[in-house]
Amino acid sequence: MLRLRSFHDESGISLVEVMIAGAMASIIATAFVVLFSSFSRNVALEEARAAALSEVQSASANLTAELRQAVPLVTGDPTVVVLDSAWSDAEIIFYSDRADVPGPERYRYYVDACANSRCDLVREVTVADNATPPWTYSGTPGTRVVVTNLLSDGDALFRGIDWSTGTEVATTDCDAATPCNFSSVEIVIRVDPAPNMAAEKALHVRHEVRMRNAR
């Protein structure tokens, strides 16, 4: 008698093959996540750096223009009224006749909201009360933050510089009692562009501004 044998198809995927495929898929997925995270972080850093650079350039350009056109409130007085280089009280006060209003405006730049070696740089402008001298300034100033994440753990933000003796003479603290007798102001702005992201280099702007109307 002829006996028929059936042949079963034994092709298929074994458990070992499934485990290997799963491991490879996991490795590929992990690599993709790492690459995507790195790409996203780089994009975020570049965006943060671009925004910080724009902020610093704008603030620096305005301060430079205002200082160059600074004028003494009374003829013969120093052009800068107050300068303090200590980071705990860093500020500079001067008068500059830039806007289309009677009299020079009172400008004050100072640091505020300091925490974890980072501060805000604030610009404050007060318009003169009257149309003719003597000028007084009792009105409410216009105030706005012009730089954020200003690093306060390095060089002084403001220094008065004088070269009349042939060598640099720096002033770090002056006011009505100790007149601010210098012709230039050194500005050093260091900013952390991405405080929530580690290992990012600070933006650093340093320049010396000569005041045209200084004594």
Selection from 112, 74, 79, 113 nearest residue 93 by Cα? 79
pLDDT tier, 40 (very low <50, low <70, confident <90, very high otherwise): low
pLDDT tier, 7 (very low <50, low <70, confident <90, very high otherwise): very low
Selection from 142, 146, 145 nearest residue 101 by Cα? 142
For the chain, give me the number of helices (H) and strands (E)?
A: 1, 10
How much is the pTM? Answer: 0.80
What is the per-residue pLDDT for 77? Answer: 92
What does the pLDDT look like over 80-92, one tens digit per residue? 999 999 999 999 9
Selection from 143, 66, 83 nearest residue 112 by Cα? 143
pLDDT tier, 179 (very low <50, low <70, confident <90, very high otherwise): very high
Selection from 119, 114, 125 nearest residue 190 by Cα? 119
- DSSP conformation class of 70: B
